[in-house]
């Protein structure tokens, strides 16, 4: 396993981040425990979760499963950099969601209880809160850091100017501010190249891409549909995008077949070749999918291969404003 620093911090994290969103809704407890054990065996030390995972009436279930796994001992907690998120409503009463100081305090304590730990390595805002002033957010986060409940703060689904707002507010307070941003980023969805990535690089914020396979679209969907083995071909992001991008997906799968590589592995390898990327989030349903993600780290894409992928999946054309102006 390869490791890198999280943004401008001294924290070492694996180049792959284990996403836990499937734990509970898709994978049962025993399978989830097995995947997490195998991740550590493969050297993956960076796990990502959220308080809302489990969804609906089961909100919080995923964190609980991770906490039960930590409780098994064997230095599982000590060997894991655990990231989790807050923002989504965890109940129907006012102040049970978003980023008020009250909810930040309550949500953090609730996540700590479910995770069975006394600190969270990376506490992330799952979405920007346009109602809450940055001074309130940073004051609440500063209190959590002073109490030893969190170590670092990250964001998710922020625009480039939100990163700038947050960092400038942190600068005024003399605090570290954001160290990471989770954004959707893959060969099909490259909008972050316009402004999010330049802002993140300028401020020393690590990029953690989610949905690296675009909901399965980049995972060999055409082949799997033909074989009858597709799990998500008829629903979600893959179904919405398949017909729109079918010519590109056909060329993509032909490109991967010519290399003798699984499309899912090549999609991850492409992200790992992007200089702004810290660690793509992989959300395996089982150990086999996790092993495939690890294999992606051994795939090298030379300049010709990267140029061909730009032809198949053209990005926005570079950074803003040059991508759309002079």
Catalytic positions, written as ranges? 53
Residue 273 is encoded by which pair of tokens?
A: 């070749």
CB of 140 closer than 8 Å to CB of 158: no
User: Rounded to 10 degrees, what is the CA torsion of 239, 245, 250, 252?
Assistant: -100
Neighbouring C-beta atoms of residue 302, cutoff 10 Å: 9
CB of 28 closer than 8 Å to CB of 68: no
Residue 38 is encoded by which pair of tokens?
A: 């195998």
Peptide bond into 321 cis (omega under 30): yes
97 CB-near residues (< 8 Å, 6+ apart) = 87, 88, 89, 90, 91, 103
User: Residue 296 carries which DSSP code?
Assistant: G
Q: Which run of H or of E encompasses 112?
A: helix 101-115
246 CB-near residues (< 8 Å, 6+ apart) = none
Q: For the chain, what is the radius of gyration of the CA atoms?
A: 19
Burial-class residue 136 by CB neighbours within 10 Å (0-12, 13-18, 19+): middle
* Rounded distance between C-alpha atoms, residue 17 and residue 39, angstroms: 9
* Rounded distance between C-alpha atoms, residue 41 and residue 37, angstroms: 6
Alpha carbon separation from 24 to 58, 66, 105, 188 (Å, rounded)? 9, 10, 25, 28
């Amino acid at each position: 396993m390869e490791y890198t620093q999280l943004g401008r911090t001294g924290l070492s994290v694996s180049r792959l981040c284990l996403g836990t969103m499937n734990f509970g809704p898709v994978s049962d407890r025993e399978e989830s425990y097995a995947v997490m054990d195998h991740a550590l065996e493969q050297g993956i030390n960076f796990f990502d979760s959220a308080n809302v995972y489990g969804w609906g009436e089961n909100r919080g279930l995923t964190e609980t499963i991770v906490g039960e796994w930590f409780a098994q001992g064997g230095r599982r907690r000590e060997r894991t950099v655990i990231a989790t998120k807050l923002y989504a409503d965890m109940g129907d009463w006012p102040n049970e969601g978003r980023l008020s100081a009250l909810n930040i305090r309550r949500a953090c304590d609730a996540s700590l209880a479910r995770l069975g730990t006394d600190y969270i390595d990376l506490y992330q805002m799952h979405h920007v809160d346009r109602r809450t002033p940055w001074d309130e957010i940073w004051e609440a986060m500063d209190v959590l850091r002073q109490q030893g409940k969190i170590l670092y703060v990250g964001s998710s689904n922020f625009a480039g100017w939100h990163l700038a707002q947050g960092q400038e507010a942190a600068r005024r307070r003399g605090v570290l501010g954001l160290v990471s941003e989770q954004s959707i980023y893959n060969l099909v969805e490259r909008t972050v190249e316009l402004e999010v990535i330049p802002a993140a690089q300028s401020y020393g914020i690590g990029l953690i891409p989610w949905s690296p396979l675009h909901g399965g679209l980049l995972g060999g969907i055409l082949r799997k549909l033909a074989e009858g083995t597709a799990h998500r071909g008829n629903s979600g992001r893959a179904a919405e995008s398949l017909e729109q991008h079918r010519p590109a997906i056909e060329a993509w799968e032909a490109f991967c077949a010519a290399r003798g590589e699984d499309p899912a592995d090549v999609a991850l390898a492409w992200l790992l070749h992007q200089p702004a990327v810290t660690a793509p989030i992989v959300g395996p349903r089982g150990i086999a999918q996790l092993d495939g993600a690890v294999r992606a780290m051994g795939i090298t894409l030379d300049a010709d291969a990267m140029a061909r992928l730009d032809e198949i999946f053209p990005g926005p054309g570079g950074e803003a404003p040059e991508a759309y102006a002079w």
